[in-house]
Every structure is written in structure tokens, then in C-alpha cells.
Amino acid sequence: MQQTAQLALHENVQFIYELVLARMELEAAGVSFAVHENLRGFSTNGGLDRDHIVHRSAYVKSLQLAEQEPEFTDYHVIQQYNQTQSINQYLTHWFYPYKGKFHPQMIRALLGIIGLEPGDVVLDPFIGSGTTAVEAQLLGIDCVGVDVSPLCCLISRVKTQSWEHLAQIEDASDYVAPCADHAHQQRLFRSADDRELPEGPVRDFFDLAEMIARSDNSRRRRDPVEAFVYNRDRMLASVRDHVEVKQRLGLKFGEVDIREGDSRALDLADESVDGIVTSPPYSIALNYVRNDEHALEAMGFDLDELSDGFIGVRGAGKRRFELYDEDMHVAAGEMARVLRPGAMAAVVIGNVTYNGEEIDTTAMFTHACEDAGLVLERCVDKIIFGLYNVMQREYILLLRKP
């Protein structure tokens, strides 16, 4: 039923690009509206699907129908389940301090803007810390996440799978303890009877708690065992939140499939995904392997061998950019191959600075996508700030497969 309403934006909507995305969200949902003079909300003129706004919107905080009390959106409720001091790190989003994280609110919006519905499949071929997977799961959209980094795959699995295994994780937390002589052990924890946990979601949870502890030790000089216990307990609280918000809002979670693999050779059938939301690596400016070496070494990986599979890390000087451009063309070709006709890809990308020189990686990847047959429909200028951002300006490319 279409109804008139007043829509208020979240208080954390601060930047021009967020207002642009908020408008695009409503346009994608078929809502006719006018922007309030203070730029903090919208008035609709009858073209409103109340359920869509309440259950799927990212930027609308509340909806008020004529002569009724304001109704909060699901996303406003979800944001309250937060064990951190950062508004964007609710539920399991905060797990591991990954550099260059997506803004979850933006990803939720983009999933709607490119027309994805519950039961559709979204691909993120550079899944990173799993933001796309978490937001798709909350919206009931199935997600395939691919990354060459075993650490990224671990982070993404734990963020999206732990809720199903909460009882087993809680039981295991009673007998998983720090090693007595952790300074001389490869691992910080083991079971009380000195057995390793079996591979699977429960083991993954404690592995990631250890990787966060190692990051805290490496970057903040915190005692690793104290950091492990602290993060384990806070992670448990966040997983409980994940379960509670699902039950409170009656959410049907989307299926999540996290795969360790290469974006240049996706193990997916032609035209098998309904949309793509991703961000290519900024590895020319940020060496992801070296940045997380403390965790990758603890996981038993040889950093030099691992680097060979990372886009943007191979080569030196001019050859490095040539290899990056070649790899981006192959990755864009794979994205176009697996995307169904008429479907869209949302790509967040920015130029990087290397040895003091700005490299137009945005144009490079745009050309790669166009060469693969994707059509650029819109480019949104995005200015960003924050501790984990590696640049202050990015662009959101909206591309369609004809």
C-alpha cells in the first residue's frame, strides 16, 4: 500500500555522498519524495512502500505516517547492538582491525540501489574483512565472498557463521585457556587438556580472537594473553547480539559462502550472480601481506609465497603498475562473466599515492570494466575520513551488464 510519510535520516549521516546515496535508495525503491530544507529528511507524496523502508533502508532512521508516532527502521535497531565506541562497528563488524574497511551503512544502501532482494546472490570477489557478507546476510541476500588472503577468509567466516554455533563456542570458552608459557609457544591458547580444537567454526572463532590479540600486541604493545581473553569475551557478546537482533527483528539471514580463491579465476558459473559489491585492493599503496604479517605468520604462512598471489604486490617500479593493470583487466572480465545480463556491480575505488605520485587507479579499473563489456551508469564522488581509511577520497562506480 502506498502512503505519504515523513522520513528522518540517521544523525551520523554527515557527508554529501551519504545524502546522494539516501536519495538513490529511495529512487531504487520507487519512492517519490522531496528533500527537507535542512537536508535531514524527506517528505513523500504517496509513492511509499512502508515495509521496504522499515526493513531495508540504510539511511532512513524513522518513518512517520500521517497522525501516527514515528516508527524506527530495522537498521536503527541493528546499530544499537554495538560492543564498541564506533557507530559503524555494530554486531560483528568490529572483528579484527582490518585496514581499509567498508562503511557498513554504505554497503547496505548499495545492495538496495543495485536492486538486490532476499534470495538473490551477491558476489564480493575481494571480500576483505567481510562487510558485504555481513550486510547481505542481515538483508536475507545470499553472498559469495572470495579472497586470496586466508586471514580475510577467516575474518569473514567468523563474522557471519559464529551466530549458528554460539552454544558450542560458549561451551568451548570454558576450557580454552591461554598457554602458560605463551612467549615460547606458536599459539596463545589451547584446550585445558592440551588438545587442539577441531577445525570448524568454533576453532575459527578462537583463532580470530588470537589474531586480534596479536594485532593488539603488535600495534599497541598490549599483553597478548590479556588481549586474547578480553577480545574473546567481547566477541562472544557481539555474537550474542547477532543472535538477539535476528530474533528480535524476525530476520531470515542470507546464506554466506566464503571461499579462499583468486578474483582472476572465479570458481563460479557464467551469469550466476545477481549483483556485485566490492572494492579492489589498494595494494600498490598498502601491502596487505606485510600489514598483517603478525597474524599471517601465526597462522603458519610464508609471507613471500603468499605475496605472489596478491594483486598489486608483485613487481617493482613501472612493471608493478603494468601487472596491476593486467590483473584488474582479468578480474573485471571475471566479474562481467559471472554477472547475469541486466544486473549491476557497485565498485568502491580510489586513486592511490605511490612514492609521492598519485596513480589514477580509478580510471584504470573503470577502463578495465568497460573493456569487459560493463557500462558505467553513474559515478558518485565519496569523501571519507577515519582511522582505518588509507585515502581520503574514493568513488562509487555503478556499472551494468547489458
d(CA 103, CA 98): 12
pTM of the model: 0.92
Are residue 139 and residue 272 in the same domain, yes or no?
yes
For the chain, how many residues are written? 402
* C-beta of residue 157 within 8 angstroms of C-beta of residue 200: no
Are residue 67 and residue 118 in the same domain, yes or no?
no
Are residue 290 and residue 340 in the same domain, yes or no?
yes
Are residue 314 and residue 204 in the same domain, yes or no?
no
Virtual torsion, Cα 229, 235, 241, 243, nearest 10 deg: -110
In a domain, 134, yes or no: yes
| pLDDT of res. 337 | 98
In a domain, 94, yes or no: no
Domain range for 306 is: 104-157+253-400
Are residue 302 and residue 330 in the same domain, yes or no?
yes
> What does the mean pLDDT of the chain come to?
88
Query: Per residue in 336-366, pLDDT tens?
Result: 999 999 999 999 998 877 777 777 889 989 9
* C-beta of residue 18 within 8 angstroms of C-beta of residue 382: no
Q: Where are the alpha helices (DSSP H) in 80-165?
A: 104-113, 131-138, 150-161
In a domain, 319, yes or no: yes
Are residue 380 and residue 352 in the same domain, yes or no?
yes
Are residue 325 and residue 345 in the same domain, yes or no?
yes
Of 249, 278, 309, the domain-final residue: 249
Tell me: pLDDT of 312 over 90: no
Q: How confident is the model at residue 68 (pLDDT cuts 50, 70, 90)?
A: confident
| pLDDT of res. 217 | 79
Tell me: pLDDT of 247 over 50: yes
Give burial (CB, 10 Å; 0-12/13-18/19+) of 100: buried
Of 190, 219, 249, the domain-final residue: 249
Here the CATH number for the domain that contains residue 12 is 3.30.70
In a domain, 86, yes or no: no
Tell me: pLDDT of 244 over 70: yes
Are residue 209 and residue 304 in the same domain, yes or no?
no
Number of domains in the chain: 3
In a domain, 96, yes or no: no
Please write down the HEC assignment for all residues of 163-174: HHHHHHHHHHHC
Are residue 142 and residue 73 in the same domain, yes or no?
no
Are residue 186 and residue 282 in the same domain, yes or no?
no
Query: Per residue in 154-181, pLDDT tens?
Result: 999 999 999 999 999 998 887 666 655 5
| pLDDT of res. 176 | 66
Query: Per residue in 53-67, pLDDT tens?
Result: 999 999 999 999 877
Here the CATH number for the domain that contains residue 387 is 3.40.50.150
In a domain, 91, yes or no: no
Are residue 264 and residue 326 in the same domain, yes or no?
yes
Tell me: pLDDT of 204 over 80: yes
| pLDDT of res. 241 | 98
Over residues 141-156, mean pLDDT: 96
In a domain, 318, yes or no: yes
In terms of DSSP bridges, do strands 71-72 and 375-383 run parallel, antiparallel, or are they unpaired? unpaired
d(CA 230, CA 208): 13
In a domain, 92, yes or no: no
Look at residue 151 and give its three-state secondary structure.
helix
Are residue 183 and residue 127 in the same domain, yes or no?
no
| pLDDT of res. 123 | 98
Of 185, 215, 249, the domain-final residue: 249
Helix axes 224-249, 201-220, angle to 10 degrees: 130
d(CA 299, CA 150): 9
| pLDDT of res. 190 | 57
d(CA 400, CA 23): 19
